[in-house]
């Protein structure tokens, strides 16, 4: 089977979902090809070095100028009408490109990598072309309301036309079932993986232990954006219990720029 991955977040775009989609293609042995944008929807600028990146990638990548509308701040009625007309024209261009790729590559499965501005493709791909449609879903897409656009409001309805939704966590699956009213039998949980050839436990670096005074201490490291759903508040709530069992823990202090004992 050949799969077409439609992803706005594809390298050189940076971010967690871009890493996931890039690796889906890299580990597919050529069975997954991708289509991504040439321009950043947030800035309207051309993505840096996308030609060089695509040429060196071990999978085929198609490019289209946009896979979703550029961000706009217009709130007037006239501005809204212009935006809607522009969106319809963009959708036509996207569909034309994807239709040509599906036919040329003999695609069996379409995997949509963005729920808000990509899920509209599920209906024509499934019912006009007869391809299987998979919707990849990340937690933020089903727990946050990004804006008040028509695309945002149509999320629950678009999911009705996919053959399968892939949730990246059990939390995301529960949000699809509870918030989007999706049948759990049509959801598969596939956790984001780790390249164990690159990320493996290694001995502590003596120079870093010495520099930060960490000899004999355990270190807690949390990485992510400071937003509620990342759960940093839960980490802080757990610290008293952690200290009871591991009193030698150290934490990085932004105030002093060094590790401090808790």
pLDDT at residue 103 is higher than 80: yes
Within 8 A by CB and 6+ apart from 146, the residues are 116, 152
Place of tokens 């053959």: 163
**Which segments of the chain does DSSP mark as H helices, in order?**
16-26, 50-56, 77-105, 115-118, 122-123, 139-143, 150-153, 155-158, 170-179, 206-211, 232-245
pLDDT at 133 over 60: yes
> Residues of 19-56 as b/e, b for ≥16 C-beta within 10 angstroms?
bbbbebbeebeeebbbbbbebbbeeeeebeebeebbee
Antiparallel, parallel or unpaired: β 187-189 and 258-261: unpaired
- DSSP per-residue letters across 114-165: -HHHHGGGHHIIIIIS--EEEEEE-HHHHH----S-HHHHTHHHHGGG-SEE
What is the pLDDT confidence band of residue 226, given thresholds at 50, 70 and 90?
Answer: confident
Confidence (pLDDT) at 247: 83
pLDDT above 70 for 257: no
Choose between 70 and 112: higher pLDDT.
112
> Please, what is the Cα angle at 151 between 108 and 184, to 5 degrees?
60
Q: What pLDDT score was predicted for residue 256?
A: 60
Instruction: Assign domain 3-189 one CATH number from 3.40.630.30, 3.40.50.150, 2.60.40.10, 3.40.50.2000.
Output: 3.40.50.2000
pLDDT of residue 125 exceeding 80, the answer is yes
Q: Where are the domains of the chain?
A: 3-189, 206-261
Could you tell me the pLDDT band of residue 79, with boundaries at 50, 70 and 90? low
**Backbone region of residue 220 per phi and psi (left: phi > 0; alpha: psi in -120 to 50; beta: other values):** beta
Locate tokens 């949730």: which residue? Answer: 167
pLDDT band at residue 65 under the 50/70/90 scheme:
very high
**Is 74 a residue whose pLDDT tops 60?**
no
The per-residue pLDDT for 95 is: 95
93: exposed, middle or buried (Cβ count in 10 Å: 0-12, 13-18, 19+):
middle
Report the percent of the chain where pLDDT is more than 90.
Answer: 53
For 164-220, how does the pLDDT look when each residue is reduced to its tens digit (9 = 90+)? 999 999 999 999 999 889 999 999 999 998 888 888 888 888 998 888 888 888 887
Q: What mean pLDDT value characterizes the chain?
A: 87
Averaged pLDDT for residues 102-117? 95
- Taking the whole predicted model, whether its pTM rises above 0.85 is answered as no
């Amino acid at each position: 089977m050949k799969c077409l991955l439609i992803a706005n977040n594809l390298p050189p775009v940076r971010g967690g979902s871009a890493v996931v989609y890039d690796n889906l293609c890299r580990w597919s042995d050529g069975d997954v090809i991708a289509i991504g944008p040439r321009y950043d929807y947030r800035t309207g600028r051309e993505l840096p070095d996308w030609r060089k990146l695509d040429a060196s990638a071990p999978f085929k990548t198609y490019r289209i100028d946009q896979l979703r509308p550029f961000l706009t701040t217009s709130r007037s009625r006239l501005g809204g009408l212009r935006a809607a007309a522009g969106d319809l024209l963009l959708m036509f261009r996207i569909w034309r490109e994807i239709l040509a790729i599906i036919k040329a590559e003999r695609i069996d499965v379409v995997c949509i990598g963005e729920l808000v501005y990509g899920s509209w493709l599920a209906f024509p791909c499934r019912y006009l072309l007869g391809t299987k449609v998979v919707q990849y879903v990340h937690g933020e897409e089903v727990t946050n309301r990004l804006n008040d656009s028509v695309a945002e409001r149509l999320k629950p309805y678009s999911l009705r036309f996919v053959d399968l939704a892939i949730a990246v966590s059990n939390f995301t699956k529960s949000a699809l079932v509870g918030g989007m009213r999706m049948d759990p039998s049509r959801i598969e949980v596939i956790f984001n993986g780790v390249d164990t050839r690159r990320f493996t436990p290694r001995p502590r670096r003596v120079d870093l232990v010495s520099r930060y005074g960490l000899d004999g201490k355990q270190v807690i490291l949390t990485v992510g954006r400071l937003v509620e759903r990342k759960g940093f508040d839960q980490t802080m709530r757990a610290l008293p219990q952690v200290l009871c069992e591991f009193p030698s823990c150290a934490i990085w202090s932004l105030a002093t720029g060094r590790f401090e004992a808790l």
